[in-house]
Each structure stands twice: as C-alpha cells, then as structure tokens.
Amino acid sequence: MGYSSPAGALSWEPDKTRTLLVKTSQILKDKFATVQLTLLSIIVALVLENLLNELSQSEILWGATLASAVLWLQVLVILATVMCIWSGFAIALSLGRSPYWGDFIAPMGLLIALFAAATNLYPQPAHWWFVAVAFGSGLSGWILHYDSLSAEKAGHPGPQTAMKIQLGLAIYYLLGAVVLLFFNQPIIIASLIFAALVVEASVARGILIAWTSDY
C-alpha cells in the first residue's frame, strides 16, 4: 500500500524559513538587553540584601576600632565591584553587543563571588574575602574585555584601561590572600583593602563616565 500526500503539503520554502530565522534572531537580540539588565539587577539586589543581612548581625559595625574600619572598607569594595560589573554590562548592551555564552554565566559568577565576599566579612578570615573579590574583579575584567571588542567594532573608544586594571586587581587580591595567610593583623588587612579601594573607585568612576558619554 502506498501513501500519497497532497501536492505541496510537504513543500519546503528555504527563503521563507531563512527570513523567519533572521527575524526571530533580531527579536531575541532586541529583547536581550532588557532581559539581561533585569536579571543582573535582580542579582545585584540579592547581593545587597545578603550584604545588609550580614551587616545587621555584625558586632563590630559601629565600633570606633580598626576592626570596624576593616569591615567598612570591605563593604565599600563590594559596592564598587558591583558598580563596575553592572555598568560594564550596561555599556556593552547600550552599544548593541550581540549576546554570547558569557552573558549567561557572568551574572551567576557575580552572584557567587559577591555572596561569598559578603559572607566572609571581617572578623572572618580575611584571606577568603580576598579570594572572593579576586574572582569578582576577574569576572569584571572579562566582561570589560568583550565590551572593548564591541566598542572597537562600533568605532568607539572602549574600556580597555578599566579592563586591565580589573584584571590587575584580581591578581592583587590573590596575592593579598597569600600574604594574609602569614600576616593577618588588622592594620595589614586595612592597608591592603584601602589601596585596592582607591583603584576600584577610580575604575568605577571611569566606567560611569564612559557609560554617560556620547557613544
């Protein structure tokens, strides 16, 4: 017994299929920026909520001591890192960068890194906090690298300097973690964090200037 189908019932039109795929791809690309920034904003909100929860349980938060100063320096570094990463994404998406696989991994990496940093605030062993923020800075540098490539393709100046500084900070934090395995005095911890905070603040400022400039 044979089977016959109506003429044209199984016909395939490559041109229409290709057009549909192109349109679908463009729609996804257009919606990607909104979805990505929304996801990242939710993750930032979760990080800040966790940070506030940790601070509310701290016994040294309001003390006029070196330990309290260390704690506040750690908090400021976390906030600066959040600003750098969120702004880096915003710059990339404002330039119309095409999505890539890192866009789906980076927000989760940010969540893990900054949750770990908030959980290991002083007086927890400081070397673990340094490892966590090293991961966050390395992630920020990775994001800024792709931002730079997108900016170059669009004929705009990219955040190459900020990218190099963030990657340098990641190495600095890792080296700081090693140092603190042997020298864990509060004055040394505070000095290491303060030096990094000055750099983090300058990077955040530079990224925000680039973000608000006329691209």
Nearest CA among 186, 188, 136 for reference residue 166: 136
Tokens of 144: 């800024």
Number of domains observed in the structure of the chain: 1
Q: What is the pLDDT of residue 177?
A: 95
- Choose between 129 and 107: higher pLDDT: 129
Whether 207 and 85 have beta carbons less than 8 Å apart is answered as: no
Domain of residue 25 covers 14-212
- This prediction has a pTM of 0.77
7 in a structural domain: no
158 in a structural domain: yes
Q: What is the pLDDT of residue 7?
A: 47
Taking only the tens place, the pLDDT of each residue in 93-113 is 666 666 666 667 777 888 888
Q: What is the pLDDT of residue 96?
A: 60
9 in a structural domain: no
Taking only the tens place, the pLDDT of each residue in 45-99 is 888 899 999 988 888 888 888 999 999 999 999 988 887 777 766 666 666 666 6
168 in a structural domain: yes
- Choose between 10 and 13: higher pLDDT: 13
- Choose between 70 and 40: higher pLDDT: 70
Q: What is the pLDDT of residue 87?
A: 72
Q: What is the mean pLDDT of residues 182-211?
A: 83
Whether 54 and 117 have beta carbons less than 8 Å apart is answered as: no
Q: What is the pLDDT of residue 205?
A: 72
Q: What is the pLDDT of residue 80?
A: 84
125 in a structural domain: yes
Q: What is the pLDDT of residue 215?
A: 47
Q: What is the pLDDT of residue 210?
A: 61
Whether 121 and 54 have beta carbons less than 8 Å apart is answered as: yes
Taking CB atoms within 8 Å and a gap of at least 24, the contacts of 68-76 are 69/190, 70/122, 70/126, 70/186, 70/189, 70/190, 70/193, 71/121, 71/122, 73/190, 73/193, 73/194, 73/197, 74/117, 74/121, 74/122, 74/129, 74/193, 75/51, 75/121, 76/197
183 in a structural domain: yes
1 in a structural domain: no
Cis peptide before 123 (omega within 30 of 0): yes
Q: Is the pLDDT of residue 127 over 90?
A: yes
- Choose between 196 and 7: higher pLDDT: 196
Taking only the tens place, the pLDDT of each residue in 18-36 is 666 666 666 656 666 677 7
Tokens of 120: 């290991």
87 in a structural domain: yes
Burial level of 169, CB count in 10 A (0-12/13-18/19+)? buried
Taking only the tens place, the pLDDT of each residue in 134-189 is 998 888 788 777 767 766 776 666 667 777 888 899 999 999 999 999 988 999 99
